[in-house]
Amino acid sequence: MEYLKKYPKLFQWLFLLVVFFALCFAIDVPETYKFIRGQAEFVKDPNQSVYFFLGKEVRYYAFDVFWRLPPLLGWLPIWINDSLFFLMNEWMPMEFWNEDTQEFKTRPILLQISRNLTAFMTFLIELIREILLGGLETIVAFTSWDFIDAYPWLELPGLPWTIVAAGAAILSYKLSGKGLALFAGLTMIYISIFGQWKPSMQTLSFILVAAPLSFIFGLGLGIAAYKSKRVEKALYPILLVMQTMPQYAVLVPALVLFGVGDHAAVIITMVVAVPPMILLTILGLRAIPPEVIEAGRMSGCTNWQLMLKVLIPTARRDILIGVNQVIMVCFSMAVISAFIGAKGLGFNLLLALNQLNIGLALEAGLCISLIAILLDKMSLAWANKQTDYFGNLTFFQRNKNVIFFAASFVIGIILAYVGTFIFKGSFNYLFEIPHNKGISTADFWNKGVDWIFDTFFVYIKAFNTWLIQDVLQPMRALYLRMPAVATLVLAVGAGYLIGGIRSALVVAALTLFIALSPWWDRALVTLYMATFGVVISCLIGFTVGTLCFQNKKSAAFMLGVCDIFQTFPSFVYLIPVMMLFGITDTSVLIAVIVYATIPATRYTIEGLRSVPVGLHEAATMSGVNKFQRLTKIEFPLAFPHMMLGLNQTIVFALFMVIIGAFIGTEDLGQYILKALSDKNGAGIGLTLGICVAFIGLIFDNLIRTWVEKRKKHLGIA
């Protein structure tokens, strides 16, 4: 009884677990139950039950309500789908002037908007693409195809790769200095020599449209939300869901709305990249000390000046993290949107992965990662740039970067021209090194992979078999063995114990949505993979973080490593694991673990770092040794921040599990992938995405509530 009074929470948790397990044992597996690919399949089967709702027919496998809830939300994807089609093809038809046929045409308004938006995006992408690679679409856009036919010489010639490389290096030098310039130059030369020029520039042109647009929209909406409570309230739930929604899931609706191609990819990238930008903008603006704003006002700023010259620069730190996120998401999407027909490195990467050509995939992946890192560093340097007012510079000194660029421009063109003589009849290597004509190390890597396979096959196979048979499959079976009611009780109970009625209700609503959707079984599989990944990631991340924290230099080094790894597009992580483990669940899980370890490590180091120095000293003076200090002081104080890391780890893990569907797993991701090629896929894709997002949000809600309470308790809120 005394213990009960001393640790009431502990006993409440124990009680919850007892109820959970009691339910698990009390409810038997129904005899007819087998792992169902989807509770409601769209193929007909005599064993299925049927219900009608909103005129939609939903077929499903009926079980005892305690075991699996009936898919009462089964109509939702179908309904979303029909609504989308209705909106696009029938809603509000209006007369629009058609330039090509020179007559008015009746079209639904959304379709027209979508077409216009599409045309605009396509124009932007083509413009940049043709500056880099040459072409005639841009000129056509201003004139007509007939015009081009009349003057066939009229086309943008494209820049020789030498000029782009020199330009990148000079820009980097101006922004940051020699180090970055060298990196930029080498990156460009690498890309060119290895024959990745064309796809790289295609990807780059996509990024150069998507990233700035996402930045502008994100910043704009962030400011609007900062200024108006109402806007913020309207945006917040969308932002929350988008944060945990797997990027895959938004592809399908985009397909319906905007069709296939780079333009759709840009729009969908914006949809994914804008929310974090908004959140970070709001965060940054909120953190500005009120006196700084007053100082701006007293300096006589107009509202615009206040925003542009005081608020945004002062909130720069958070906004920059936002930019970093935007770039990260853009590169991630550059790969993923290859599924809906975006050209460039992503397409090559997917193709190579599909053909199991690990060497090629590795090269493409490396190119993407290098460009990502380069752009990230350049944007950072740009924001931190300082003006020098006092240097008494000559004309040459002031304009040396422009002069150098002009010089390299001329030299580049001369070189390209000379090239036409040197490489007569073959490719002009000084203009552009064509795809697959550069040096390729693909064979080397492929042989390496073969060698690894031949040499270590026995061990890898043994490990693989052990992991799958003795760990993963039992775990998966356990998860699937959970009756729906028991899971609900566990989730809601946890919500109640952590955050009271409010949390319990939120968690209940989110869980119910998934339970009533047709994909409960798959959600469980997703959850099991994510759990496995998260547990291992946290073990590694917390350990590595703690070890690195012991030394300032290694901590800084580790954070730098995390930064770089975070810049890699998520798909890149699949390459090395496929090299080693082939197409198995093991591969996916290892990719999940590697990817999700990043936030775990980062937050551990940051959390430990944020422990005040005064406490360290107080602890040292109390005579604790290093280990005691770690366990008694640093961990308890850093723990809330580390839990936020856990939150991020879960989101990262979920993302990767979903992407892992590309390799072939039986979770929600596989269905999202399938929805891509389904004409009714939009609703399914979106609903599945929401399911994944809700899994993330359940944990997000629980962890955040706990962290806030804990921080308040510790007085470090």
Partner 1 sequence: MSETVIKCESVYKIFGENAKKMLEESNGNVDAKTFQEKGCIVGVNNASFEVAKGEMLVVMGLSGSGKSTLLRCISRLTDATGGKIFIEGQDLLELNNKELIELRRSKMGMVFQSFALLPHKTVVENIAFPLQIKGTKTEESINRAMEMVKLVGLDGRENYFPRELSGGQQQRVGIARSLAVEPDIWFLDEPFSALDPLIRKEMQDEFLRLQEKLQKTIMFITHDFDEALKLADRIAIMKDGIIEQLDTPANIVLNPATEYVRKFTEEVPREKVLVIEDVMDTSSNDNLGDLKVSKDEIIENVAEKILTQEKIVAVVDSENNIVGSIKPSKIIDTVFGGRKNGS
By CB under 8 A, tell whether 302 contacts partner 1: yes
- Of these, 295, 393, 418, 422, which contacts partner 1 (CB under 8 A)? 295
- Cβ closer to partner 1: 222 or 669? 222
Query: Which of residues 296 and 412 has its CB atom nearest to partner 1 in the complex?
Result: 296
**H-only helix segments in 30-144:** 75-89, 109-133, 137-142
* Contact predicate 628/569, CB 8 Å: no
631 interacts with partner 1 by CB under 8 A: no
Size of the site for partner 1 (CB under 8 A): 22
Residue among 95 and 294 whose Cβ is closer to partner 1 = 294
Residue selected from 37, 297, 616, 710 as contacting partner 1 according to rule CB under 8 A: 297
Pairing, β 93-98 against β 56-60: unpaired
Of positions 305, 440, 464, 554, contacts partner 1 by CB under 8 A: 305
CA pair distance 404, 161, nearest whole angstrom: 16
Least distance in Å: CB of 314 to partner 1? 6
Q: Does 390 bind partner 1 (CB under 8 A)?
A: yes
Considering the rule CB under 8 A, would residue 308 count as an interface residue with partner 1? no
Q: Name the one range near partner 1 by CB under 8 A: 310-318, 363-371, 433-441, 496-504.
A: 310-318
Q: How far is the CB of 217 from partner 1 (least distance, A)?
A: 23
* Buried b or exposed e, range 309-338, using 16+ CB within 10 angstroms: ebbbebbeebbbebbbbbbbbbbbbbbbbb
* Residue 309 contacts partner 1 per CB under 8 A: yes
Q: Closest separation between CB of residue 445 and partner 1, Å?
A: 45
Q: At what angle do helices 574-581 and 442-466 cross, to 10 degrees?
A: 70
390 vs 459, which CB is nearer to partner 1? Answer: 390
Q: Is residue 337 near partner 1 by the rule CB under 8 A?
A: no
Neighbours of 405 (CB within 10 A): 19
Contacts (Cβ under 8 Å, ≥6 apart) of 239: 275, 278, 279
What's the CA gap between 147 and 152, in Å, rounded?
A: 8
Q: Is 674 in the site for partner 1 (CB under 8 A)?
A: no
109 binds partner 1 (CB under 8 A): no
Please give the C-alpha separations between residue 547 and each of 553, 556, 604, in angstroms, as whole numbers. 12, 12, 10
395 part of the interface to partner 1, by CB under 8 A = no
- Binding flag, residue 113, partner 1 (CB under 8 A): no
Q: Which of residues 253-292 bind partner 1 (CB under 8 A)?
A: 289, 291-292
Q: Is residue 560 a contact point for partner 1 (CB under 8 A)?
A: no
Which of 28, 90, 95, 294 is the binder for partner 1 (CB under 8 A)? 294
Least distance from C-beta 219 to partner 1, angstroms?
A: 16
> Which tokens hold the place of 594?
């590697």
How many helices (H) and strands (E) the chain has is answered by 32, 4
Q: What length is written for the chain?
A: 717
> At its nearest, how many Å lie between partner 1 and the CB of residue 243?
28
Contact stretch for partner 1 (CB under 8 A) within 22-30, 239-247, 296-304, 692-700:
296-304
SS3 59: strand
In 622-680, which ranges are continuous DSSP H helix?
626-629, 635-659, 668-675
How many C-beta neighbours within 10 Å does residue 284 have? 22
User: Which residues in the 367-386 window bind partner 1 by CB under 8 A?
Assistant: 386
Contact in structure between 601 and 571 (CB atoms under 8 Å): no
- Smallest CA-to-CA distance from 676 within 691, 658, 694 is with 658
Distance (Å, whole) CA 335 – CA 282: 29
Contact between residue 601 and residue 562 where contact means Cβ atoms under 8 Å apart: yes
Q: Is 47 in the site for partner 1 (CB under 8 A)?
A: no
Residues in touch with partner 1 (CB under 8 A):
289, 291-292, 294-302, 305, 309-310, 313-314, 316, 386-387, 389-390
